[in-house]
């Protein structure tokens, strides 16, 4: 079983948690079911549930009633999955601005881990 962790800013904010808390209950529950599946399957989870985006970044794909929720994540230290960014996808491709947010957060966390910060 993989360990899912939320990306946290240096001030302790968790953007994916904020995204999920803003969803309707039905949508949040479905995302949480998909996250449980991700924790069990890890990198073996494939379409339609997950897909590779760019480099180490992957997306959890959750569709519900014309809503396309995406949670961008990556694997760290073998068995950790870090949830970097959540958004409602409205276009065919993942918008570049959403990719940039996820990449910036990944770089930030990687530099903090290299400096000795621990995943809790």
The Cα 79–Cα 74 span in angstroms is 10
With respect to residue 120, please indicate whether it lies within any of the assigned structural domains: no
The Cα 87–Cα 89 span in angstroms is 6
> Residue 69's domain spans which residues?
3-114
With respect to residue 88, please indicate whether it lies within any of the assigned structural domains: yes
Question: What's the confidence (pLDDT) of residue 68?
Answer: 96
Question: What's the confidence (pLDDT) of residue 120?
Answer: 74
With respect to residue 119, please indicate whether it lies within any of the assigned structural domains: no
Dihedral (CA of 41, 6, 65, 23) sign: positive
Interacting residues of 49 by C-beta distance below 8 A, sequence separation 6+: 34, 37, 38, 41, 60, 61
Question: What's the confidence (pLDDT) of residue 26?
Answer: 97
Domain count, the chain: 1
pLDDT beneath 70: ranges in the chain: none
């Amino acid at each position: 079983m993989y360990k899912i962790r939320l990306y946290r800013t240096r001030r302790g904010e968790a953007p994916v948690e904020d995204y999920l808390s803003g969803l309707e209950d039905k949508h949040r529950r479905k995302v949480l079911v998909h996250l449980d599946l991700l924790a069990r399957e890890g990198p073996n989870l494939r379409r339609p549930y997950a897909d590779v985006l760019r480099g180490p970044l992957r997306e959890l794909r959750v569709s519900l009633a014309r809503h396309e929720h995406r949670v961008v994540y990556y694997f760290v230290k073998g068995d950790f999955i870090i949830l970097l960014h959540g958004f409602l996808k409205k276009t065919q491709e993942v918008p570049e601005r959403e990719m940039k947010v996820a990449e910036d957060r990944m770089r930030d966390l990687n530099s903090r881990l290299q400096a000795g910060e621990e995943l809790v």
